[in-house]
Amino acid sequence: MKNYFSELKGKTVIVTGGSKGIGKDIALTLAELQANVVISGRNEHDLQSALSELHTYNDQCTAVSGDLSKVEDIHHLIGKTAETFGRIDALVNNAGVNIAKPALEVTEEDWDTVLTLNLKSAFFASQAAAKHMIEQKSGKIINIASQMAFGGYYNRAAYCSSKGGLVQMTKALAVEWAKQGIQVNGVAPTFIETELTAKMFEDQAFKEDVENRILLEGLSKPKDVSGAVLYLISDLANFVTGETIKVDGGWTAI
């Protein structure tokens, strides 16, 4: 019987925003399968804490600090990874931010902050990684989008715009790089129950609204997203490109 996901052992995978929440869970899932995971983030303390957890599975994992809203930091991350491991097998563009405000109150700075990290950084990280993947004639890029790419929601004009753009970017890069052996896909989660969203769910009216829109019972967990990413990175998805898998408990099915 085939040992599924065993092909990930020794593969080099970058997970941006990998020190907390969904990103950390994705990184841990891959490290447990013996992938060489490189996590990035801005907070050195959080990065080192997450790296210690990764090392319980694979001591080859490493961390690169940086602000991915700066293209030079993106190039440093990709370059350092290639220098350390000699190749880049997969990139998970997970780093993101949301500034929840009514549309009439969104400032130019708010808009630029959200679009820069959620969309611009994902493009330039993909571009930098693809240069190495093209030389290898193989590679997988996974963009963490959102159900908000497919439907609107209150106080999220900039966020919805950034994630909608990310889904379209996923398709465009999949088309352009298919002949070079690169697959580009996305995962679109609903609201996830993490330490980062705990304060948000203290608002009972908001929590009830979210739960009422999700068809399946309860709130999504990080492992639900990690499972979709694991599938797309694995050999099970070798004929899938340009797709975005919704992990939203049926929110967008209605």
Burial class (CB in 10 A: 0-12, 13-18, 19+), 34: middle
The residue whose two tokens read 């950084």 is 121
**Integer Cα distance of 95 and 46 in angstroms:** 14
Q: 57, 153, 159, 231: which one is catalytic? A: 159
* Helix, strand, or coil (residue 182): strand
**Nearest 5 degrees, angle CA 194-CA 184-CA 196?**
10
Give the separation between CA 105 and CA 115, rounded to whole angstroms: 16
Residue 159 is a catalytic residue: yes
Phi/psi at 155 (nearest 5 deg)?
A: 60, 30
Cβ of 7: how many Cβ atoms within 10 Å? 17
Instruction: Name the H helices within 33-156.
Output: 44-55, 71-85, 108-115, 121-136
**Which active-site residues does the annotation give?**
159
